[in-house]
Chains A and B, each alone.
Chain A
C-alpha cells in the first residue's frame, strides 16, 4: 500500500513538472513569435513604398533564429491597399507546439503611408 502511494506521488509530481515545462516552452515560443513579428513589421515599414506591395512582401521569410525556435513555423505577410497612399500590412505566424497541435497564430497589423519621396 505504502509503495503504491509513493509511486503515485512520484508519478503525479513528475507529470506536473512535465506539464509546467511544456507550458513554459510554449510561452517562450510565443514570446519569440511576437518578437519576430515585431522585427518583420519594422523591416517592412522601413522599405520604400514600391517594395511593400502584396507580391513583394509575400516573399519575406522568417529569420533563421525564429525558424529554429518555432518548429514547423508558417509565416504569412499580407499587404492590402486600404486607400490611396495607405497600405495595411498584416504579419501572421503560427507553429507546432510540443503537444503536436498548432498554436493560435500571432498576428501583428501595421500601416504603411506613402511619403513625398515615394511619389513618382
Chain B
C-alpha cells in the first residue's frame, strides 16, 4: 500500500484559485461599500446644506416686510439677488453666485454678517416671487443639469417656498 505524502499539483492550484476568488470577492465588496459610503456621505452633506439654507431663507422671509428681486440681463457677470427688507432698516440679500448662495445681512448700508451655502453639482438656481396674494411667496428653485441629475449625485429638483412677512413683528401687532 502506498502512503500519500502531500498534495498533487492540481489540488494546490485549485486551492490557490479558490483563495484568490475569495479575496477578489471580498475586495470588490469592500470597494463597493467604500464607494457607497462616500456617496452617502456626500449626499448627506448636500442635503444638510440645503436644509440649512431652506430654514434660514424661511426664517428671514417670515420676518421681512417686503421683498425685491433683481435679475440682471447677464446673470453670469452679475448675480441675481433677492432682497428681504425688514421694518427696522435691516435687509438681507441672497445672491446666486456660481455654485453657491451668498447671504449678506445689512443694517442700512453696513454689512453686519455674511455667510454662504454651497449648491450641489450642476444645478441651475433661480428665484421666483409670487405677489398675487396677501403675503408674497418667495421660491428658490434648483433645476437639475442637462443630464437630469447633479453630477454623480442623484439629486432631483429642489424647491423651497417661503411666505414673506408671516411673522413680521408689525404684522403680529395688527392681528385682530
Contacts and interface: CB of A to CB of B under 8 A. Distances in A.
A2 B175 contact: no
Interface residues of B, number: 37
A42 B137 contact: yes
Contact of B134 (A31, A35, A39, A118): A118
Contact of B135 (A13, A21, A45, A116): A45
Consensus secondary structure, chain A interface? helix
B3 interface: no
A48 interface: yes
B122 to A, nearest CB: 17
A27 to B, nearest CB: 9
Interface string A39-67: 10011011110000000000000010100
Contact of A6 (B15, B21, B161): B21
Contacts of A114: 176
B163 A45 contact: yes
A43 B161 contact: yes
B47 interface: yes
- Interface residues on chain A, size class: 35 or more
Interface in A63-112: 63, 65, 68-69, 85
Interface stretch (B29-37, B74-82, B96-104, B107-115): B29-37
Nearest to A34: B51
Contact of B54 (A6, A24, A38): A38
A83 to B, nearest CB: 12
A115 B40 contact: no
B22 A6 contact: yes
A46 B26 CA distance: 56
Given A42-B137, A65-B159, A2 B18 contact: yes
Given A39-B160, A85-B176, A6 B25 contact: yes
Contacts of A3: 18
Interface string B24-59: 011001001100100010010001000100100010
A-B pairs, top 3 by smallest CB distance, nearest first, are: A46-B163, A46-B135, A13-B29
Interface of B: 15, 18-19, 21-22, 25-26, 29, 32-33, 36, 40, 43, 47, 51, 54, 58, 130, 133-137, 156-164, 166, 171, 174-176
Given A42-B163, A68-B156, 15 more contacts: A6-B18, A17-B29, A21-B36, A31-B47, A35-B54, A35-B160, A38-B58, A38-B160, A42-B58, A42-B161, A45-B163, A46-B164, A47-B134, A116-B174, A118-B134
7 contacts: A6-B18, A10-B29, A42-B161, A65-B157, A68-B156, A113-B175, A116-B174
